[in-house]
Amino acid sequence: MARSPKTGHLIIGVLALQGAFREHATALEKCGAAARQVRRRRELAGLDALIIPGGESTTIGKLMVSYHMLDEIKSLGAAGLPMFGTCAGLVMLARQVADGDQPLLNLMDITVRRNAFGRQVKSFEAPLEIPALASMAAAGVNSGAAPFPAAAPFPGIFIRAPWIESAGPGVDILAELEGHAVAALQNNLLVTAFHPELTGDLRLHELFLRIAAG
């Protein structure tokens, strides 16, 4: 794995074409990782992992195509590079959207519905039970950077959020809300329908860094 020559930390790329990329970079740095904002194809080289942030999935997809990054990111994901998609990033990682058409990475065996919980005026916060976070802490992985007990519900912030409409047998559903899957893991791919980067809770970023570290 590539390492920052100055810090020895994981180098985590954050796709910075549109959306909440700065907040992800801040969360990663609080967890002790080196964050690299990725705006050009060449900046994908040497990463340990990549985050695709929330934003507008159609716009992000079109920008990936315009900047000749879609196929490169897809190839990196297929080769095993860990990726974390939040909200629009969840949509981008999916194999299919249930409503409409747009560029996708087609990496995760899920079908998603965009804006499933309503438009932006219907944004909300809901506590989520995510047993994987408690298991991570029990294994001594949690750095303690976030002031949240291991077993506490995660503060899910939903903004024009999608949900996972269906998932293949290799997908582990990590959290549900109102009967719909809103977080999932498949091999090195982690997705959430909500925005962990907009909270003070770093547990999901810590889980992703654990995945990135192998």
pLDDT reading at 100 higher than 90: no
pLDDT reading at 2 higher than 90: no
User: Cβ neighbours of residue 142 under 8 Å, at least 6 residues apart?
Assistant: 133, 136, 150, 203, 206
Cβ atoms within 10 Å, residue 175: 22
Q: What is the mean pLDDT of the segment spanning 40-45?
A: 96
Mean pLDDT score of the chain, rounded to an integer? 89
pLDDT at residue number 203: 92
Percent of the chain with pLDDT over 90: 77
pLDDT reading at 50 higher than 50: yes
Q: Which pLDDT tens digit goes with each residue over 124-169?
A: 999 999 999 877 665 555 444 555 566 789 999 999 999 999 999 9
Which residues have a catalytic role annotated?
87, 195, 197
pLDDT at residue number 144: 46
Q: What is the mean pLDDT of the segment spanning 166-187?
A: 97
Lowest mean pLDDT among 84-93, 106-115, 135-144, 162-171: 135-144
pLDDT reading at 4 higher than 50: no
What is the CATH code for 11-213?
3.40.50.880
Q: What is the mean pLDDT of the segment spanning 102-128?
A: 90
pTM of the model: 0.91
Residues 146 and 201: beta-carbon distance below 8 Å: yes
| Among 174, 66, 64, 164, residue whose Cα is nearest residue 114 | 164
Q: Give the pLDDT band (50/70/90) at residue 8.
A: very low
Q: What is the mean pLDDT of the segment spanning 24-38?
A: 95
Percent of the chain with pLDDT over 70: 88
Q: How many CA atoms are closer than 13 Å to the CA of 210, on its beta-carbon side?
A: 19
